[in-house]
Each structure stands twice: as C-alpha cells, then as structure tokens.
Structure 1
Amino acid sequence: MSENQRNEERGLPRVKPATDIVETEDGFYIYMDMPGVSKEALVIDLNEDEIKVSGRTAYPASEAEEKLIHVEFGNGEYYRGFTLSHIVDKHRINAVLKNGVLELHLPKAEKAQPRKIEIQMG
C-alpha cells in the first residue's frame, strides 16, 4: 500500500494557513501562505456571508529503498473560513495564486466606499 493511499484512508492533516488581512480604501486583501498547493488543488467556496478556502498538497511518494527519518513536508490540507461583512461586494471577489501565496481581493460595495461630499455655493 502506498503512502498516498494510507494518507487518504487516515485523512490528511489539516492546517490553518498563515494569514494576513489588510483593509484599503477600496476593499480588503487576504493573503494566505499555501506552499505546495496548485491551482487545480485549490477550492474557494462562497456561500451567503461565508467564504471557505481549502487546498491540498501532494508530494511524490518516497522511493522504496529510502527510509524516512523525519518528515515535515508531506501531503496535507489547508483550510480557512471567514465570515464576510455586508460591505463586501461578493460579485467582484477575485483570487490570485502566485509563488505559494493566495491573494484574495474582497472589494467594498460602492455604497460602502468613503467619498468626499462636494460643497455647493449657494
């Protein structure tokens, strides 16, 4: 039985990815470290006011003649969920995966963005 099959049967270890959240004038940016996750293995689900991000890593099985002494890299699953504010424009959320970092941009709805009030002379 291969190592991959054993992991599938046991269930993969689930890890919360390191995450930064930044607010700008036009919205929010969420940055998540997801090394080893390919675009095909990444799932982003939006349901009502909740966004769920999950991704799986898959590393090749070791050679038969190798004996693993200590393993910190291996198959696993990243998972993180967030509750979204009503000021997020859910139809314009976008995601970019680059160099093992997922960047989610959650733009603010037009009505929630700050704006200057023009003063009229009367």
Structure 2
Amino acid sequence: MSDTNVQEKELPRYRPATDIIEKEDGFHLLVDMPGVSKEQLTIDLNDNTLRVSGKSESLLASQERNLDQEFATAEYVRSFTLSDVIDQNGIQANLNNGVLDIHLPKVQKSEPKKIEIQSA
C-alpha cells in the first residue's frame, strides 16, 4: 500500500454546512466547500439521491513547513433525497468562492386542457 492511499484513508471527513432556499425558479442548495476546487468536486445523482463530495487540498508548498495548522486536507460528503417535485434533468451546479450552489428546478405543472370528444 502506498503512502498516498494511507493518507487518503486518514483524511478527516466533514458534513458541509448547507442552506436550502426555495425561490420561484426552484430550490437552491448552498453547500460550504472551503478549499475544494472544481476538479476535486463530484456530484452524483442516483435514483432520488443527490450526493456531493469533494476534497480540499493543503495550501502548503513543498518547501514550507507548518508551525500551526487549522486548515488541512479534508473530505466533504453530503447526501440529499430529492422529491418528485424536482426536475432531475434540469439540475445545475456552480462553484464560486468555496460555496457550491446547486439549482434544483421544480417540475413544470401541467396546464389544464379540454379534451375533445370524437364521434364514431
């Protein structure tokens, strides 16, 4: 087993703080992902479960050493169960300044319509 594999298994795992906001265009999940880059972020949708995971990376250069460390490499994982009111094909995500904004649009309501009766 390499040092990299051991290091990844020992990463602290956090459940990121999340705000859920309802707007006219649907729901927005605002997920705190400090230090996570787009390349280290994964969003999976399986059935009605949306899973967000990401890994932050240490900002320490190879020639530097820590005297005190409060921010380290860590893994963030959070899952959400989606209801039938969500249009799963329209989900979009944007990562900006360490905050992941996942837009969950609502399914469009069908408009009432009159059914014509055909004569035989």
**TM-score (structure 2 length as normaliser):** 0.79
**Structure 1 equivalent of residue 7 of structure 2:** 7
1:101 and 2:99 aligned: yes
Instruction: Count matched residues.
Output: 110
Q: Name the CA distance, whole Å, in 2 between partners of 1:96 and 1:65.
A: 32
Moved over 3 A (4+): 3-6, 60-66
Compute the RMSD of aligned alpha carbons: 2.5
Tell me the CA shift for residue 18 of structure 1.
1.2
**Structure 2 equivalent of residue 120 of structure 1:** none
Unaligned runs of 5+ in 1: 118-122
Q: Name the CA distance, whole Å, in 1 between partners of 2:44 and 2:106.
A: 19
**TM-score (structure 1 length as normaliser):** 0.78
Tell me the CA shift for residue 111 of structure 1.
1.7
Whether the 8 Å contact between 1:31 and 1:102 is mirrored in structure 2 is yes
Higher mean Cα deviation, 69-78 or 54-63? 54-63
Aligned partner letter, 1:55: G
Over residues 64-104 of structure 1, what are the superposed CA-to-partner deviations in whole Å (9 max), with x where a residue is unaligned?
A: 773x4542211100110000010000000000001111000
Matches within 5 A, 1:1-122: 7-8=7-8, 10-61=9-60, 66=65, 68-111=66-109
Corresponding residue SS for 1:111: coil
